[in-house]
Amino acid sequence: MKVLLGLSGGVDSAIAAYLLKEQGYDVTCCFMRNWDSFANNDILGNPTIMEGVCPQEQDYMDAKAVADHLGLPLLRVDFIKEYWDQVFVTFLKEYEKGRTPNPDILCNKYIKFDAFFDYAMKNGFDKVATGHYASNETIDGYTYMTRAHDQNKDQTYFLCQVPEHAIAKTIFPLGNIDKPKVRQIAKDLDLESVMSKKDSTGICFIGERNFREFLTNYLPSKNGKIVDVDSGKVLGEHIGVLYYTIGQRKGLNITHDKGPWFVAGKDVKKNILYVCHHTKKHWLESDEAIVSGINWLVKDKNEIPNQLTCKFRYRQPDQDVALEWIDDTTVRLRYPQKISGVTCGQEAVFYNGKKCLGGGVIDFVYQNGKDLNEMIIAKGKA
């Protein structure tokens, strides 16, 4: 079976390549180039813009060293236009609305399991493979996505928007091993270029950035008031509500009023950032949410239970929720236990035991039946 593996220059995809080769697959590696800093005006907030070798080129050299070491061919493909048009433009539009999108989910949906997947299928490969910590399992002819053995690294959250036909033709070689084992294999194989390399962080395929400065390359900053939602008092000045995330604590620069303070809401039209004191964190809590654009990963929607679990962000423990259908791809979630930091624009991902049932975008967040952000704006004005 011919498999095209996405080789990133990191340790996870390197060991995925090794495991596939050991299992007898005909493996070809492929390095994806999806971002061009100079062409995309990625100047401000880019700590490596003046370095002789950019991190992306270093990743390619590391990937090539791995492929050579394992005796595997390495292709190099560019999806720079696809990334800009489908991932980054969507990313910016969400920020313009005052929402907080997840670039890793967009990247998996539009690049790794769309552009890259299509490239593989058009070039004679039977399946694709990645270094994600996830699994899949075929039951009665349908391939479900399931959690990885390493629960600390499980990445099914980021894969929730991958189309089901791509899940069915994907191999996840790291699904049954944990991260320490991955690093040990790399050490045993003497893969010097990746065995001690830190896990990639930052924006998917873009990398580490000073995020606020980075956004100013594309979205103009506009100073405005920081207001205490409870007292209506102006506590300071922000550089633009688009640059802040609900629940954010650091970077508010409120110096004259003792905190800590947390971002609670945004009035995008009037450019006002509302914050709450740590003693008033109920402003961050919700008990309902509307989730839309859900990509269901099930054979039959009748198998989706009305009582299930959900993650509203990656590292969050599973939350018990009750699901109420609005239409095929939109639901209302109820969770009377009160959850802090459920944020519009981020993803709600559903689980039934080890199965990942899919996920969608959080559109509205409610507290006691009222839109939470609208409540905060109204309270701040009072």
CB atoms within 10 A of CB 246: 26
Q: Out of 107, 276, 310, 344, pick the active-site residue.
A: 107
Residue 320 has φ and ψ, to the nearest 5°, of -70, 130
Q: Out of 29, 204, 276, 356, pick the active-site residue.
A: 204
Name the token pair of 89. 């433009």
Half-sphere exposure of 344 (CA within 13 A, CB side): 20
Residue type, 199: D
3-class secondary structure, 62: helix
Q: Is 54 a catalytic residue?
A: no
Q: CA quadruple 344, 96, 102, 281: dihedral positive or negative?
A: negative
The C-alpha atoms of residue 122 and residue 233 are separated, in whole angstroms, by: 60
DSSP 159: G
The C-alpha atoms of residue 157 and residue 211 are separated, in whole angstroms, by: 22
Using alpha carbons, select from 34, 17, 130, 119 the residue that is nearest to residue 73: 17
Q: Are 102 and 114 in contact (CB under 8 A)?
A: no
Using alpha carbons, select from 52, 54, 116, 51 the residue that is nearest to residue 83: 116
CB atoms within 10 A of CB 238: 25
Q: Is 30 a catalytic residue?
A: no
CB atoms within 10 A of CB 337: 9
The C-alpha atoms of residue 3 and residue 26 are separated, in whole angstroms, by: 6
Q: What residues contact residue 294 under an 8 Å CB cut-off, 6+ apart?
A: 329, 330, 331, 350, 358, 359, 360
Q: What residues contact residue 357 under an 8 Å CB cut-off, 6+ apart?
A: 296, 297, 298, 304, 308, 350, 351
* Residues classed as catalytic: 107, 204
